A and B are shown apart, each in its own frame.
Chain A
Amino acid sequence: MPRITYLEAGRRALAEEMRRDPDVWAVGEDLGRGGVFGQYRGLLEEFGPERIIDAPISENCILGSSVGAAMTGARPVVEMRFADFALCAIDELVNQAAKARYMFGGQTRVPLVVREPVGLWKSAAAQHSQSLEAWYVHVPGLVVVMPATPADNAGLLKAAIRCDDPVVYMEHKDLWGLEGEVPEEVAPIPLGTARRARTGRDVTIVTWSAMVHTATEAAERLAGERIEAEVLDLRTLWPWDREAVFESVARTRRVLIVHEAVRVGGFGAEIAATLAEELDDRLAAPPRRLGAPRVPVPYSPPLEEEVRVSADRIAEAARALLRS
């Protein structure tokens, strides 16, 4: 199976969807020149400026016009450049895209994909590094997807484009160069299905996005200590795969939820609370969470390192969980 990068997998999936469906178009800043990270390279040449649409730096209009286009039959892929910048268009996403179908009594759908690159990356600091997935999971009407591997970035992006709901699609900037096997023919991956990244019997680590790799690294270390950690990559945060999580945690009886985002009010809290409510009698220990401290992302490498959830911290949290 050919190996390609996470970035190339997303680029290829979009191109394939655009070939398959003439209603799909992409809009955002600098797309004609390949996008800020190169995720759109070569697409202008193939699809032309009416489908690879260069936008002014007008986030409200990039997202808002996509709502109007989606309500009239287009399937826009909306590039927000950084998840942080998407906050400029929060009304268009939260009050318009997420609400239109419901508040208009089912008269319309808003099938758009909002690509919001997230995460710590090259000392990008406070306004270019955030992981705000929990905000969107909180909003009824939205689907939230966070791929961790090249294969998933292809299959999940295809599924997101074919979904009739507005999808917040968060790629991790630090994964662009990650290589992995991706089949020649990529099938859409059903949204809401987790992937078991590693099998284990002692503790379940539920995680997503770049933290899947950090958690897997931690699990390898723990294996040297005869602790077998299972790593579940949630892939979709809304809806999250409760069956997969329940099945795994019922088996291991211990769960650690890990995310790069700030721990306070993070999506880990929702999972932990759900497990405490519904699986309490099966748990050998209370669910544990690991996330960033509640500080803005700092610039200087030692400071950034301080707020990063590392493999060391994950391994230590898992050990503590097993001692309890």
Chain B
Amino acid sequence: MEDTKGGSGANLDRDRLCAFYRHMWRIRAFEECAIRGAEAGEVFGTVHPSIGQEAVAVAVCGNLRRDDILLSTHRGHGHTLVKGADPYAMMCELLGRAEGTCGGKGGSMHIADFGIAMLGANGVVGANTVIAVGAAQRLKKLGSDRIVACIFGDGAVNRGTFLEALNWAAVRTLPVLFVCEDNRYSASTRTAELTAGEGAAARGRALGIETAEADGNEVPTLDAIAREAIARVRGGRPVLLVTRTYRLTGHTSRDPAGYRPQEELAAAREKDPIRRCADLLRLAGLEEAELAAIEAEARREMAEIYERARNAPWPRRDLAYTDVQDVGAPTERPY
């Protein structure tokens, strides 16, 4: 697959672009609610926002089939929402409520929804790459045309699991789409300072894996590249897609990210994928009022969901003891 430069907004499918815009706003509104919830002490644990990275979620997950398998990261709200998870169940999970995707046992870092083949966010960087390979091996053995999409950050490419998973997928010719969502920071340190050679894409090519690179903030182009990559993976071979984006928040909602230069942040805001998508929609003839209505509707939806979720019931305390294991379970006797 050839590298693709940014596209123009001239001949875009306006409805498709509108849908991207709406989905990106839904992700952002969801996460802004979650951040306010964390600040209010109502969302517990740690929230890792993907604000600024929404285009990757809509372009990759928006092109997956409902039965395609998705593995995500600690920064995975957007991926999961676009895959089709119920934002109310997700918000309940963040708020630790019984109706959460995991009954309140996982929280933000462990959201999963097996009903839409979303096999989990993961609290360990790079851990999902090897899990993805096994799921793909199972699909291949079944003769299925489903694929596995595995999204991870740029920090993950320095973990051994990244090498092991890519090698395994290549050697066994497995249907995995590896997506590196490069937001330039490994937690609070610039990844470039810690990464030898040319980074993720070069590593993929070194293993003989078809590798594509894309601007992760330019949604229509990314959409086309992701769609082509997914088609190739559905044909039975692994592909690595490296997307370059930027995390507009800190590592967590509590991280003020003082370690990055203000000029860098200001430049990144100019390239905010939502802003760029709005510009394209204006070119395609959308009125300001229509753009504002899409944003307002997303904010209204998520605010209403947040309000419902914060009034949802807590899990019963005895559920702390369920779903540990069948043999030797704590419900058998008080170990």
Chain A interfacial positions (CB closer than 8 Å to B): 25, 50, 55-56, 58, 60-61, 63-74, 76, 91-92, 95-96, 100-108, 140-143, 163-165, 191-192, 238-239, 242
Q: Which of B106, B161, B171 contacts A64 (CB 8 A)?
A: B161
CB atoms of A105 and B100 under 8 A apart: yes
Please indicate the chain B residues that have their CB under 8 angstroms from the CB of A67 in the complex: 130-131, 134
Segment at the interface with A among B178-186, B253-261, B303-311, B319-327: B319-327
Most chain A CB within a 10 A radius of its CB, from B104, B322, B330: B322
What interface size band does chain B fall in?
A: 35 or more
Q: Which of B102, B110, B130, B327 contacts A68 (CB 8 A)?
A: B130
CA distance A69 to B124 in the complex (A): 19
Within 8 A of A (CB), among B70-110: 71, 100-106, 110
* Distance between A142 CB and nearest chain B CB, rounded to angstroms: 7
Asked if B316 lies at the interface with its beta carbon under 8 angstroms from chain A, I say no
CB atoms of A68 and B106 under 8 A apart: no
Please indicate the chain B residues that have their CB under 8 angstroms from the CB of A25 in the complex: 141
CA distance A72 to B330 in the complex (A): 26
Known: A95-B123, A141-B324. A105 touches B105 (CB 8 A): yes
Supplied contacts A65-B165, A192-B327, 20 more A-B pairs, CB within 8 Å? A56-B168, A60-B130, A60-B164, A61-B165, A63-B130, A64-B127, A64-B131, A65-B130, A65-B131, A68-B133, A69-B137, A71-B131, A74-B138, A92-B127, A104-B112, A105-B102, A107-B114, A165-B325, A191-B328, A242-B333
CB atoms of B137 and A60 under 8 A apart: no
CB atoms of B325 and A95 under 8 A apart: no
Please indicate the chain B residues that have their CB under 8 angstroms from the CB of A91 in the complex: 124, 127
Q: Which residue of A lies closest to B142 (CB)?
A: A73
Chain B interfacial positions (CB closer than 8 Å to A): 69, 71, 100-106, 110, 112-114, 119-120, 122-124, 127, 129-139, 141, 148, 160-161, 164-165, 167-168, 171, 322-328, 330, 332-333, 335
CB atoms of B141 and A105 under 8 A apart: no
CA distance A142 to B161 in the complex (A): 22
CA distance A56 to B322 in the complex (A): 37
CA distance A106 to B315 in the complex (A): 14
Known: A103-B105, A104-B102. A72 touches B327 (CB 8 A): no
Please indicate the chain B residues that have their CB under 8 angstroms from the CB of A103 in the complex: 102, 105-106, 110
**Among all A-B residue pairs, the 10 with the closest Cβ atoms:** A64-B130, A68-B134, A239-B328, A65-B134, A105-B102, A105-B103, A61-B164, A106-B323, A68-B131, A68-B135
CB atoms of B132 and A68 under 8 A apart: yes
CA distance A76 to B122 in the complex (A): 21
* Distance between B139 CB and nearest chain A CB, rounded to angstroms: 7
